[in-house]
Amino acid sequence: MARRPPSSLRKDVFRKRSRTVEKKADEIAKLSGAQVYVVMLHHGQFYVYTSHNTNAWPPSKDQIDQSFPVPKRTAPTNFKVAKD
């Protein structure tokens, strides 16, 4: 059996993982009533999930920055595991 090229594997990984993210976002919205908006950019194409289709959703960056309580922001560094 021929090995698949790395680019093909990366496409499959993105397809599967992005679908999982969308399903989890939908699950959070349905189970908790949260409004969820997820944007992914992959090879120049945007992939967008939104739980609510209204003109007020998603909020602008300014609306988020000026909101109270202060937004909880997450970045990749929040998920790094310390090595022993």
Locate the domains of the chain by residue range.
6-79
Question: What pLDDT score does 22 carry?
Answer: 96
What pTM was estimated for this model as a whole? Answer: 0.74
Calculate mean pLDDT across residues 44-62: 89
For residue 80, is pLDDT > 60? yes
Coil vs helix vs strand at 30 = helix
For residue 36, is pLDDT > 70? yes
Architecture of domain 6-79: 3-Layer(aba) Sandwich (3.40)
- Taking alpha carbons only, the member of 49, 51, 20, 56 closest to residue 33 is 51
Instruction: Categorise residue 24: left if φ over 0, alpha if ψ from -120 to 50, beta otherwise.
Output: alpha
Rounded to an integer, what distance in angstroms lies between the CA atom of residue 13 and that of residue 7?
Answer: 10
